[in-house]
Structure 1
């Protein structure tokens, strides 16, 4: 079967540091399609229209996301992406390599010219989920499969940026109207998503895969890991990840312990969006560089090294569709302190220690006790789901 993968989100990440979350899922799908001996195409939304790339274009995109230099920008990039030079150069390369391109209203006719009959469109990044766009895909005769990672903006609008719940609601309505298949990473995410769909398409649950975790101590920056027991918080800094609780905990630890006895907190993740108060606390906090360290932009090998040496992963999140960091920590045999979220219970069962994300006292007491263990009480790791299993389930349906 021919498959058409929407690569808009992945291309938008070019030049913005290591991939995280949903971006990594789209990259895994790209790798899988390129590894298969089946027709594969990529679709990108660019200023003024769409680009269609074949296997050679998809390889070029993957190479450039992996660090291969891009060529110069072109006129459309300079005019229409003046504030995103890296993305403009990438899109210029892809325009030079594209199988075809079109204005938005010509999408269906472009796809009919190039795609084999019965092709399937795969959207894993929540980009281009509009009623008009999906109608045009339907007019091209392709089946539509969408990976809906979660509906957190609808279930917890207080944790989303202003305006995002309304935008997301329109995306979910378009998926409901046009998708042939919806892919979910957990049964909990499926239940929550289908409760929001006026029309419920066919659905499958395919847990996300965890790639090989290869610690690389040589890639660590100077000063890491710190010379004391430490805990890791891994993930983009945004309100639902609840980093403010961890800063409260470290304030409480310093109030009761000599500084020499306070474990370190390593915050590994880029700053997303949040209340400016959190960022001011990180920038001006008295423990910054002493027991609290913020290290964005680390590569996978460095993150795996720090995670492997931690007393535990701290995951006080308010909401998750899957929760990849706890699964990665468990695969390394690293203990996990987590909120008791249904998705985490589904993927890890009784492996984590579950703590109420609003109970600062309980988190403080647990971290203070675990900080004295010095990694001496570890059990075996928990086998992680694999991408091989994920794609076996998905591609049996699409």
Structure 2
């Protein structure tokens, strides 16, 4: 939002001057924070990393939505860093080529800031209207049911602090295609397919391949999730409690 960059810079200066400790949600976030503070001439305090836990509602067993066609999810506030624009342009091209056979794209999340070009496509592009659905205010259990029945999660973000939809999807047995950024590698290296967030043709190929009936590519991604154990809150607190106890 306007002015937020300056406010956040001040938050980080305050952390650097006064914090006794930092709890980070990923190693990538921790390293970026340390580097930022050092560049600002501040000595970083001790840091503990605790991956965020996945709620028990997410799992392969439970209610499931049954879509009438291949359905892809993208989760998160609609804002530029999430790279919705790439997917909307992709869906417009698919709609022009496939017509009624176009897969469905479900955007789970509210509209955010600095997203006028994304909102313009959502509101004014007739080609994608029958194939792109916005869902805001979805409950945890509703999202879990949607994940159990969908084709794949698409996570093309340019940057993330953690990327919790990735581990929620994995816990639900939903294949994941994610942008090739460090934090996604950190949490999803064992099961994600990774693509450059600017590789439009690559994302188009991935969606088309995964949407095929009996998709072999989707079966490979689903097989990677067998035996996956998502991060839990007990493990989170095991990771951060020693630092807290030492203060």
Is the 8 Å Cα contact of residues 78 and 115 (structure 2) preserved in structure 1? Answer: no
Is the 8 Å Cα contact of residues 92 and 128 (structure 2) preserved in structure 1? Answer: no
Q: Judging changes above 3 Å, is the alpha-carbon distance between structure 1 residues 338 and 308 closer, same or farther for their aligned structure 2 residues? A: same
Secondary structure of residue in 2 paired with 1:397: helix
* Residue 239 (structure 1) shift: 0.8
Q: Judging changes above 3 Å, is the alpha-carbon distance between structure 1 residues 290 and 374 closer, same or farther for their aligned structure 2 residues? A: farther
Cα distance in structure 1, aligned partners of 2:36 and 2:214: 45
Is the 8 Å Cα contact of residues 334 and 381 (structure 1) preserved in structure 2? Answer: no
Say what the alpha-carbon RMSD is for the aligned residues. Answer: 1.8
Equivalent of 1:362 in 202, 219, 230: 202
What is the match of residue 286 of structure 1? 126
Aligned: 1:248 with 2:96? no
Cα distance in structure 2, aligned partners of 1:303 and 1:203: 32
What is the match of residue 382 of structure 1? 228
* Residue 260 (structure 1) shift: 3.0
The 5 Å alignment of 1:211-360 reads 211-214=55-58, 215-217=62-64, 226-257=67-98, 259-360=99-200
The 5 Å alignment of 1:97-136 reads none
Paired residues in the alignment total 231
Cα distance in structure 2, aligned partners of 1:324 and 1:248: 25
Cα distance in structure 1, aligned partners of 2:127 and 2:87: 12
Secondary structure of residue in 2 paired with 1:293: strand
Q: Judging changes above 3 Å, is the alpha-carbon distance between structure 1 residues 374 and 271 closer, same or farther for their aligned structure 2 residues? A: farther
5+ long unaligned stretches in structure 1: 1-160, 218-223
5+ long unaligned stretches in structure 2: none
* Residue 396 (structure 1) shift: 2.7
* Residue 255 (structure 1) shift: 2.6
Q: Judging changes above 3 Å, is the alpha-carbon distance between structure 1 residues 301 and 371 closer, same or farther for their aligned structure 2 residues? A: same
Is the 8 Å Cα contact of residues 234 and 325 (structure 1) preserved in structure 2? Answer: yes
Cα distance in structure 2, aligned partners of 1:343 and 1:296: 25
Is the 8 Å Cα contact of residues 25 and 50 (structure 2) preserved in structure 1? Answer: yes
* Residue 329 (structure 1) shift: 0.7
Q: Structure 1-normalised TM-score?
A: 0.55
Q: Judging changes above 3 Å, is the alpha-carbon distance between structure 1 residues 359 and 253 closer, same or farther for their aligned structure 2 residues? A: same
Is the 8 Å Cα contact of residues 332 and 381 (structure 1) preserved in structure 2? Answer: no
What is the match of residue 173 of structure 1? 13
